[in-house]
Structure 1
Amino acid sequence: MTAFTHLTLTDFRSYQRAELPLDGRPVFLVGPNGAGKTNLLEAVSLFTPGRGLRNATGAELSRRMPGETQGRAWAVAAVIEEGGEPTRIGTGIESAGAARRTVRLEGEPVPPGRLADHQRQVWLTPAPSRKRRSWAGDRRRFFDRLVFAAEPSHAAHASAYEKSQRERMRLLTDGPADPAWLTALEARMAEAGALMAAARARTLSALQAEIDSRGDRPFPQARLTLTGDWEKMAGEGVDLAEIEARLIRALAGARERDASAGRALTGPHRGDLAVIHA
């Protein structure tokens, strides 16, 4: 079992300094509006890859006093107990105004994706219908957070895919579009993209099975699907190596079109989550 045993906030949002000892039991936060309850939840949410509960930048999370032109450096730290062994994790910005936060594990800097190796989070927040009305990218990010909870390695694969995609588009739009370099980047994208598609398909299958098992409840049922071609292949049982090979061919064949569009038009970053009430 994994549990938070200590949480510390420094110059984070409304908190100059706060320490919260925990013992693994459920926690209920009670207080008037503006007391800082959501700020505490947001602090905990930053121990996952991404930008947290409110999708805020690092600079937006800083505590700022009247008259200060920019927020201060901030930090959120925690002790997590895993199988009786404590692990120290932390995140924050190290200089005032910095946009990108750093992540530390036992005091050493690590990629944000490593956070998912030590604890997993699922957020249930108000107004879920916003996901239905939002852009495909918002729904995809929401679904990917569910995938992170089931398969922590998904965060690292998504990060590797996005990094290679940015480098590929920079070559296609700014040059030089070196074929060998593009081929290498597309191979990395395809490897990570195939793993992403497979993880999404597995998570979708598990969610649908959980929904179907609760048919006796007095709530509408739902049918979930992923609209991306690559996730569909994975869901149909196409071999991972075959998905990777097809994605390599698709990316190579789309270079001219992607260069003209200024963005990649094929790949798992184009998929969407569809929910139909049954």
Structure 2
Amino acid sequence: MRILIGTPAYGETVTTTYVDTLLWLMRHFRESHPQVEFEHRFLSLAVLPFVRNLLASQVLNDPRYTHLLFVDADMGFAPSLVEHMIAADKPVVGCIPPQRRLDLASFYALKDRIADPQIARLVAQDYVGGGASLDFAGGGAERAGDVRSIDQLVVEGPCLRVRHAGTGVLLIKREALERIKARFPELWCEQISDSYGKFGLTGGVLQCFEPMADDKGLYAGEDVAFCRRWVEGCGGEIWSVVTETIVHVGTEKFIGHYLTKLGHGLA
């Protein structure tokens, strides 16, 4: 098994959380799963669909690779996440990471229901690939947070079946890329010398991450476009590991007004 870890790193920048994760992942697999080989590639470009198309095509065009593992530069997780992803043995496996924001109103509303503030934060948090992306035995949710019945979720081991997964941590088998290429020949282009070829790609590019319009004419992101082509176009399935803790690094503005604190009798 040979996996290319692909990381978009705009501005040549990655987080220390990401670096710790990558080193931990490679050390763990070298010691516990020596049959799994990792290669890694950074690409510092501003256009995400271009970066993801290039990395996917590098795997597609080289039969030595079995998988592409996207790991974005702001993600953190334990090696057990990738172990679960590989063990699932599905063409496309992701996870459901937190969004880089917290709804403070939702968090505060849980204060009487959940005593532990850390647990309350996990519950109040919005997630990428949760809510309306979940797939139920009777069909997907109609809107974010619409979980009709937990019993209707489609579960297999540590994974739930979903209709969409973010690309922050996403494992794609080479065979999935082959199926997309066969189903959407218009996405394949071999005239790449003045574009993708400048970044070392040879043999052609599969533009499977190009944005596409929904039924309202709105263009979604590259992750949604890929998932729609895979699920709706190829009849494929997407599974997400939900048993692992995921860190999504972001920035926060800490707002203070000391007089307000004094006004509440605190110093």
Q: TM-score range by the shorter chain?
A: under 0.3
Q: TM-score, normalised by structure 2?
A: 0.24
Q: TM-score, normalised by structure 1?
A: 0.23
